[in-house]
Amino acid sequence: MSTANAILTVSGLGVDVFYKDIKNLHISVYPPAGRIRVAAPKSISEDTIRLAIIERLSWIKDQRNRLQHAERQTKREMQTGETHYVWGQRYRLNASETSGRYQVRVKGKTLWLIAPETANADGKRAALDRWYRRELKAVLPDLVEKWQSVIGVEADKVVVRRMKTKWGSCIPESATIAVNPELAKKDPRSLEYIVVHELIHLLERGHNARFTELMDEYLPDWRLRRDELNGAPLADEEWNLE
């Protein structure tokens, strides 16, 4: 984990500040306890950072309260009887069957994980992660194509990539969109929101007024979808999107 360049105390809250080669200041609140992190341009003053935090203090406190009281998933040991999520739906894991190779399939309300007899929890977890990636990759191309046509942009590259603090990302210079495979566990509405969100960054890099206007134009209920995504059951390693 990277080390903060500065640690501020604002209204009794500890804030980690990271100075970067960016144009705009970003404030994020991370689970499980509501850690506050600011990514700030290198040229910005400490007073300006403090003022920005104070201006968003109500939002920060709301996010911290939600995270600290959020429903949480128990640690997954990949044992029969656990609850797992696929596209926002709850499934009961059945890991009782063995075979010479890993297989994952959904039938009814059961998520079947078939593994070699000698497989341990890590091996089973890796097999399920690969399956989630395949699920996401199966639906992503059509969704991206649909919204590229609507918005009038084109991503040169769309990848599925695990990220520690983001559901998705966009690099406008290379027109690259990245989507987190964890979204295969969430409602499909959430994936669509992230796809639209990242594609719009090809038109507007920051989360400014123009970005908000574009989101309102192309996906009017984006705030509801964002809140649904951030309100879904969390594992401690999961995050929220600013």
Could you report the average pLDDT of every consecutive run of 10 residues in the chain (242 residues)?
A: 75 89 88 82 93 92 77 70 94 93 95 95 94 97 97 96 85 94 94 96 88 94 85 49 36
Query: Rounded to whole angstroms, what are the CA distances from 165 to 44, 64, 170, 236?
Result: 23, 16, 14, 12
Query: Is 197 a domain residue?
Result: yes
Q: Are residues 35 and 91 in the same domain?
A: no
103-107 vs 110-114, strand pairing mode: antiparallel
210 lies in the same domain as 93: yes
- Please tell me whether residues 41 and 100 are part of one structural domain: no
54 neighbors 64 (Cβ within 8 angstroms): no
Q: Residues 99, 130: one domain?
A: yes
State whether 124 and 50 are in the same domain: no
Please report the pLDDT score of residue 242 as a whole number: 35
Q: How many Å apart are CA 144 and CA 142, to the nearest integer?
A: 6
Domain at 155, CATH number: 3.30.2010.10
Question: Is residue 111 domain-resident?
Answer: yes
Alpha helices in the chain (DSSP H): 46-55, 57-68, 121-151, 188-200, 209-218, 222-231
Can you tell me whether residue 149 is helix, strand or coil? helix
**Do residue 191 and residue 127 come from a single domain?**
yes
Tell me, yes or no, whether 141 lies in a domain.
Answer: yes
59 and 101 in a single domain? The answer is no
In a domain, 236, yes or no: no
Structural domain contains residue 137: yes
For the purposes of burial, counting CB atoms within 10 Å of the CB of 155, is it exposed (0-12), middle (13-18) or buried (19 or more)? Answer: buried
Predicted TM-score (pTM) above 0.75: no
**Domain range for 17:** 6-68
pLDDT tens-digit series, residues 16-28? 899 988 889 999 8
pLDDT at 236: 41
Q: Are residues 87 and 14 in the same domain?
A: no
Position 149 scores a pLDDT of: 97
Same-domain pairing of 123 and 165: yes
Q: In terms of domains, do 63 and 98 share one?
A: no
Say if residue 204 is in the same domain as residue 91.
yes
Task: Determine the pLDDT at residue 233.
Answer: 57
